[in-house]
Amino acid sequence: MEAYILETDPKSVAHEHDKRFLRNILKKEKFISVPCSNRSVMRGDALCEVIIEISSDTELREIVHMVKLMKKRKSSLRPFFQTIAAGIVE
């Protein structure tokens, strides 16, 4: 049996939690249309990976915080992710 070394750095644990949270949210979205870019469409999981790739730890933390607030208020997440997708495409 292999021994696993657990990461105890709180920042890396929080970052992994944020990535996992974002992936779980966006896997429910099949397609996200990108406004203002000639009807481009992105898949939810592809958008998630791009967001994780280009965002810093603090930016990713802010996105997760905003998503949690929107879920708490039972708001739609699609317009928020459409705005992020438009910023990525542009």
Q: Tens digits of per-residue pLDDT, 62-77? A: 999 999 999 999 999 9
Q: Are 25 and 78 in contact (CB under 8 A)?
A: no
Rounded to the nearest 5 degrees, what angle is found at the Cα of 69, between the Cα atoms of 66 and 73?
140
Domain residue spans of the chain: 11-89
DSSP labels, 25-56:
HHTT-SEEEETTSSSEEEEHHHHHHHHHHH--
Q: What residue ranges of the chain have pLDDT lower than 50?
A: 1
Six-digit token string for 79: 């317009």
Grouping H, G, I as helix, E, B as strand and the rest as coil, residue 11 is helix
